[in-house]
Amino acid sequence: MGKKVVAGDSNNRLLYHMHIKFTIAIVIAGFLFSCKSDVKKAPEAPLPRAVIPRADADSAFSFIAKQVGFGVRVPGSDGHVKTKDWIVAKMKSYGAEVEVLPFKVSFLGQKDLQAYNIVAKINPTHEKRIALFAHWDTRLIAEKDSDPKKTNEPILGAVDGGSGVAGLMEIARLIHTNGINLGVDFVFFDAEDQGLGDDNNWCIGSQKWSVQVAENENKPAFGILLDLIGAQGATYYKEGISVFYAKDLVNKVWALANGMNKGQYFKNDFVGEIMDDHFHVNKIAGIPTIDIIETLPSGNFAKYHHTHNDNLTAIDKENLAAVIQVVTAVVYKVSDGTF
């Protein structure tokens, strides 16, 4: 039989206290284990809602006027070099890290001309990144002009070339002034507008760039191309290549535009495929990219296209600012996770 515990026995008191301490320890350990198992990780706080800055119509228009002031921007021309230097300097002034990527081009009887893609990155090390694209060259010929004497003369390209660049510039200016929690790659393609018919001289710059970035691991999540924006009476339809490669992105951008009361510009109808820089960015670079580009409801281009009427008088500042405002909203909504 075991020894009976009698109060007053010193050995028994020691055993008693040891028993009590052991019991308390078990209770405390159980309590701590229970508390730990019940603790749930607090959900991450949502990012603060970004304040979307307002695009300035006069500022955007001034960027077009500056380009037109350089004259034609065909590769090999004096205006081309001046515009390249201006884009580089301006984007650096907005805090971008700028890289100029030279390449040679031949087109429309011209041989081995110097061309340049320009890549300007804001917050280049940010893990979350998107890309904005435009071409900055203007066309060597005006084959659609009503005056046969002028069809072989280069055009000023206020809309076709100047407007997309102005869109990117204005967004870069807004980001520089307001800041953003996002990496944005601004890519200015050269030698986009020098093809004829079905030859392979369309979108040369985007082909070159897309090959260079195709194997990059940290590519932008998606891209938006701005081409032929801001003309008088311009409307923007859901373009076929954009829908094929990035339908969800098209629908989200157009829905946002309509929610911003820009439905008079962004039409919820489809047009056919338009060969533009975004085709190569999608197919070669593998970056889902859409094209915001003016077309008529038929899918044809407006009357100024590839004529000498593509000058400053073709621009509607309010239309230009409306497109830029929508894309600015996309950029800032991506930054706060609400797009």
Per residue in 157-204, pLDDT tens?
999 999 999 999 999 999 999 999 999 999 999 999 999 999 999 999
> Per this entry, what is the length of the chain?
339
In CATH, the number for domain 57-335 is 3.40.630.10
Q: Which two tokens stand for residue 207?
A: 């082909």
Cβ distance 74 to 154 under 8 Å?
Answer: yes
Burial class (CB in 10 A: 0-12, 13-18, 19+), 126: middle
The mean of the pLDDT values for the chain is 90
Strands 266-271 and 236-239 come out as parallel
DSSP 67-98: HHHT----TTSHHHHHHHHHHHHHHHHTT-EE
Residue 221, amino acid: A
List the chain domain ranges.
8-40, 57-335
What pLDDT, on the 0 to 100 scale, is given for residue 16? Answer: 35
Q: Work out the number of other CB atoms within 10 angstroms of the CB of residue 68.
A: 22
> By C-alpha distance, which of 332, 330, 335, 252 is closest to 47?
335
Radius of gyration from C-alpha coordinates of the chain: 30
What pLDDT, on the 0 to 100 scale, is given for residue 97? Answer: 98
What pLDDT, on the 0 to 100 scale, is given for residue 30? Answer: 44
Q: How many angstroms separate the CA atoms of 218 and 127, rounded?
A: 8
Question: Reduced to 3 states, what is the DSSP secondary structure of residue 208?
Answer: helix
Q: How many angstroms separate the CA atoms of 74 and 129, rounded?
A: 31
List of residues 6+ apart from 149 with CB closer than 8 A = none
What pLDDT, on the 0 to 100 scale, is given for residue 18? Answer: 38
Packing angle of the helix pair 57-69, 162-178 (nearest 10 deg): 130
CA 306, chain centre distance (Å) = 26
What pLDDT, on the 0 to 100 scale, is given for residue 4? Answer: 30
Q: How many angstroms separate the CA atoms of 134 and 136, rounded?
A: 7
Q: What is the pLDDT of residues 74-132, one digit of tens each?
A: 999 999 999 999 999 999 999 999 999 999 999 999 999 999 999 999 999 999 999 99
Tell me the average pLDDT across 229-248.
Answer: 98
Reply yes or no on whether the pLDDT at 244 is more than 90.
yes
Query: Percentage of residues in the chain with pLDDT exceeding 90?
Result: 86
β partners of residue 221: none
Reply yes or no on whether the pLDDT at 6 is more than 50.
no
What is the DSSP secondary structure assignment for residue 8, as one 8-state letter?
A: T
Question: Reduced to 3 states, what is the DSSP secondary structure of residue 302?
Answer: coil
> By C-alpha distance, which of 304, 266, 319 is closest to 161?
304
Q: What is the pLDDT of residues 24-71, one digit of tens each?
A: 343 334 433 333 344 445 555 667 899 999 999 999 999 999 999 999
Q: What is the pLDDT of residues 205-216, one digit of tens each?
A: 999 999 999 999
The Cα-based distances of 307 to 193, 254, 260 in angstroms read 13, 29, 33
What pLDDT, on the 0 to 100 scale, is given for residue 114? Answer: 98
